[in-house]
């Protein structure tokens, strides 16, 4: 049987034999290899940021943009790409996504300035946006029943495990080679993935997909971009009153007046409201909407997406803060930082591998809730581990607990959200779910970054008041240096014995701010846990043995 036969994802193809590849689990493996590449790249950058700050002269704002632009562009294109994959073929979009991602990776590795690096990360995100919804839609079509739970469990395990192993890989490459190889290493992985996908994954598409909603694309993209812009640039331009002028085309906001930040928030919110109104109208006129609001009438889908958004705020935001503190305050090198964060992978892989058994016994929704509880405990433990008096290796234990939570929650959340969605709409539905997650990731890095650096600036200013012989202008200069360098100037100040008190105060302020940031992250996940109780109950059937039999049989 050829895997090149195009099939309809709604199961309408009269030749049912062509609707599944000969070895669906090999097809899943091929997809997961490609996915691991984009997930690893999304997480290893956190460990590389301090090194990039030194090498390219990145500011604290640049560091946030390098991190957030990936999630932002990713999120803004997922819905559109989901429709494109439904219309032109999921496998086609997956392979094209790998090609674009590699172009962005090569650009990132060769960057010589912050602007070029941020642009390159955006190109990577364009490619990644083609991969994720395509893979989820294919899984949703190729697997049914409990096998689908198994497939999404493996998807979640690889997703979480790759995210946890990314920092270790990035730290090793940065330490023994250069941070640039963290991007170049994607090339051989991409080649392997393309070959396997072309040989094992069937082409699937949906008939009757209309024209792409360009207005919806623009409204969603600019709406999200403006909100993330406000969160990241608030410290530079002021949260309400402008502490620096802003000029773009005819827009000219001078220092002392209203800041560009609240204007960005307002315009972003208005654009997103306009998006909902426009999509509701488009749906009533039988035109293909960018956002199918009818899907949100499915209780499991609607509540599940809110859970995905809120949990992602805390889940991935804390991973932005952690490597910065470990290298700036704890003094770890990139490799050691990656090795410590890799303890997260122990929990993630353990939970992902066992999630299908726990799900079969308690139900997928309960597994997601168990995961969120463990995440909260793990994040609070990480917050406790932020200390200048204890070894950072105390953090290994809460990282394992946090990894268990991520493994359980990520392994089954996608399965829970899509459980009641018609297969014909799986591409668009999975893209929307991925969008909620990526929006959460982008907002999480922006919000928790704002909490971290705002708290750092305030705390350090207060600490430095007690340093004898330090003038107000010198204190302000130190605070600005520590904040804008994302803490890397602390490492340099340690080389000067006369600044010992300043270094101590800087580390204390950074540590206290990191603790507060962890608490905020835990609160986000807690809100996600509360929302999850709006999900309907699962129909639990303990048939783990039949699942294992299916896997052994290769079906």
- Report pLDDT for 145: 67
Question: Helix, strand, or coil here: 259?
Answer: coil
- Report pLDDT for 516: 92
For the ranges 423-427, 482-486, 541-545, the maximum mean pLDDT occurs at: 482-486
Chain Cα centroid distance, residue 345:
16
pLDDT of 398 above 90: yes
Considering the domain architecture, whether residues 543 and 441 belong to the same structural domain is answered as yes
Is residue 203 one of the residues assigned to a domain? yes
Quick check: 179 and 51 in contact, CB under 8 A? yes
Range of the domain at 270: 213-287
Is residue 507 one of the residues assigned to a domain? no
What mean pLDDT do residues 468-492 have? Answer: 77
Is residue 140 one of the residues assigned to a domain? yes
Half-sphere exposure of 364 (CA within 13 A, CB side): 26
Considering the domain architecture, whether residues 125 and 198 belong to the same structural domain is answered as yes
Q: Is 249 left (phi over 0), alpha (psi -120 to 50) or beta?
A: left
Considering the domain architecture, whether residues 128 and 180 belong to the same structural domain is answered as yes
Which residue, of 265, 287, 309, is where some domain finishes? 287
Which residue, of 272, 287, 302, is where some domain finishes? 287
The span from the first CA to the last CA of the chain, in angstroms, equals 15
For the ranges 112-116, 244-248, 433-437, the maximum mean pLDDT occurs at: 112-116
Considering the domain architecture, whether residues 255 and 199 belong to the same structural domain is answered as no
Q: Calculate the average pLDDT of the chain.
A: 78
pTM here is: 0.70
- Report pLDDT for 547: 38
Burial of 254 (0-12, 13-18, 19+ CB in 10 A): exposed
The band of 554, judged by pLDDT with boundaries at 50, 70 and 90, is: very low
Considering the domain architecture, whether residues 195 and 133 belong to the same structural domain is answered as yes
Considering the domain architecture, whether residues 237 and 119 belong to the same structural domain is answered as no
- Report pLDDT for 13: 38
- Comparing CA positions, the residue from 187, 191, 163 lying closest to residue 95 is 191
What mean pLDDT do residues 405-421 have? Answer: 77
CATH code of 206's domain? 1.20.1250.20
Residue 295 DSSP code: G
Considering the domain architecture, whether residues 127 and 192 belong to the same structural domain is answered as yes
Sign of CA dihedral 109, 337, 316, 159: positive
Instruction: Pick the more confident residue, 196 or 335.
Output: 196
Considering the domain architecture, whether residues 224 and 114 belong to the same structural domain is answered as no
Considering the domain architecture, whether residues 520 and 539 belong to the same structural domain is answered as yes
Considering the domain architecture, whether residues 161 and 275 belong to the same structural domain is answered as no
Structure token pair of residue 383: 């917050």
Would you list the DSSP string of 369-384? HHHHHHHHHHHHHHHH
Which residue, of 252, 287, 322, is where some domain finishes? 287
Is residue 13 one of the residues assigned to a domain? no
Is residue 485 one of the residues assigned to a domain? no
Structure token pair of residue 442: 């982008």
- Report pLDDT for 552: 35
Considering the domain architecture, whether residues 317 and 222 belong to the same structural domain is answered as no
* Number of domains comprising the chain: 2
Quick check: 171 and 339 in contact, CB under 8 A? yes
Considering the domain architecture, whether residues 28 and 98 belong to the same structural domain is answered as yes
pLDDT of 430 above 60: yes
Sign of CA dihedral 502, 506, 512, 513: positive
pLDDT digits (tens, 9 = 90+) for 338-370: 888 878 878 877 876 676 677 777 777 888 888
User: What does the alpha-carbon distance between residue 72 and residue 189 come to, in Å, rounded to a whole number?
Assistant: 24
Q: At what angle do helices 145-176 and 114-142 cross, to 10 degrees?
A: 160
Quick check: 159 and 322 in contact, CB under 8 A? no
């Amino acid at each position: 049987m050829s895997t090149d036969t195009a099939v309809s994802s709604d199961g309408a193809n009269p030749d049912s034999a062509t609707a599944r590849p000969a070895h669906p689990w090999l097809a899943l493996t091929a997809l997961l290899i490609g996915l691991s590449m984009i997930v690893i790249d999304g997480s290893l950058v956190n460990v590389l940021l301090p090194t990039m700050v030194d090498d390219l002269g990145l500011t604290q704002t640049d560091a946030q943009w390098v991190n957030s632009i990936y999630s932002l562009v990713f999120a803004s294109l997922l819905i559109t790409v989901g429709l494109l994959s439904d219309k032109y073929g999921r496998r086609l979009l997956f392979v094209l996504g790998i090609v674009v991602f590699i172009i962005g990776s090569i650009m990132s590795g060769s960057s010589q300035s912050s602007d070029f690096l941020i642009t390159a990360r955006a190109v990577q995100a364009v490619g990644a946006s083609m991969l994720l919804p395509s893979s989820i839609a294919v899984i949703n079509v190729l697997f049914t029943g409990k096998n689908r739970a198994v497939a999404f469990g493996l998807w979640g395990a690889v997703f979480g495990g790759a995210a946890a192993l990314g920092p270790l890989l990035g730290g090793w490459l940065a330490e023994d080679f250069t941070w640039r190889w963290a991007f170049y290493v994607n090339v051989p992985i991409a080649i392997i993935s393309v070959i396997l996908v072309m040989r094992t994954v069937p082409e699937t598409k949906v008939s009757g997909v209309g024209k792409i909603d360009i207005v919806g694309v623009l409204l969603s993209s600019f709406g999200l971009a403006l909100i993330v812009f406000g969160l990241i640039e608030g410290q530079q331009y002021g949260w309400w009153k402008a502490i620096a002028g802003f000029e773009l085309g005819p827009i000219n906001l001078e220092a002392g007046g209203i800041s560009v930040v609240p204007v960005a928030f307002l315009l972003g919110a208005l654009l997103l409201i306009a998006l909902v109104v426009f999509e509701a109208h488009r749906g009533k006129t039988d035109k293909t909407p960018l956002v199918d609001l009818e899907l949100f009438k499915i209780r499991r889908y609607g509540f599940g997406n809110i859970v995905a958004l809120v949990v992602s705020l805390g889940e991935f935001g804390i991973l932005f803060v952690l490597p910065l503190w470990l290298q700036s305050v704890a003094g770890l090198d990139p490799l050691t930082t990656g090795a410590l964060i890799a303890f997260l992978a122990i929990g993630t892989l353990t939970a992902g591998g066992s999630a299908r058994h726990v799900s079969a016994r308690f139900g997928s929704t309960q597994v997601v809730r168990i995961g969120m509880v463990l995440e909260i405990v793990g994040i609070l433990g990480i917050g406790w581990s932020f200390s200048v008096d204890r070894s950072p290796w105390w953090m290994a234990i809460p990282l394992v607990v946090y990894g268990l939570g991520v493994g359980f929650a990520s392994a089954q959340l996608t399965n829970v959200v899509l459980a009641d969605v018609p297969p014909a709409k799986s591409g668009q539905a999975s893209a929307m779910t991925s969008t909620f997650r990526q929006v959460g990731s982008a907002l999480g890095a922006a919000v928790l970054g704002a909490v971290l650096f705002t708290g750092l600036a305030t705390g350090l200013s207060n600490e430095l008041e007690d340093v004898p012989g330090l003038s107000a202008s010198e204190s302000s200069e130190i605070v600005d240096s520590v904040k804008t360098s994302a803490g890397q100037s602390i490492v340099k100040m340690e080389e000067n014995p006369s600044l010992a008190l300043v270094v101590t105060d800087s580390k204390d302020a950074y540590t206290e701010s990191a603790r507060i940031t962890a608490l905020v992250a835990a609160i986000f996940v807690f809100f996600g846990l509360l929302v999850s109780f709006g999900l309907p109950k699962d129909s639990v059937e303990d048939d783990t043995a039949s699942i294992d039999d299916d896997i052994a049989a290769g079906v």
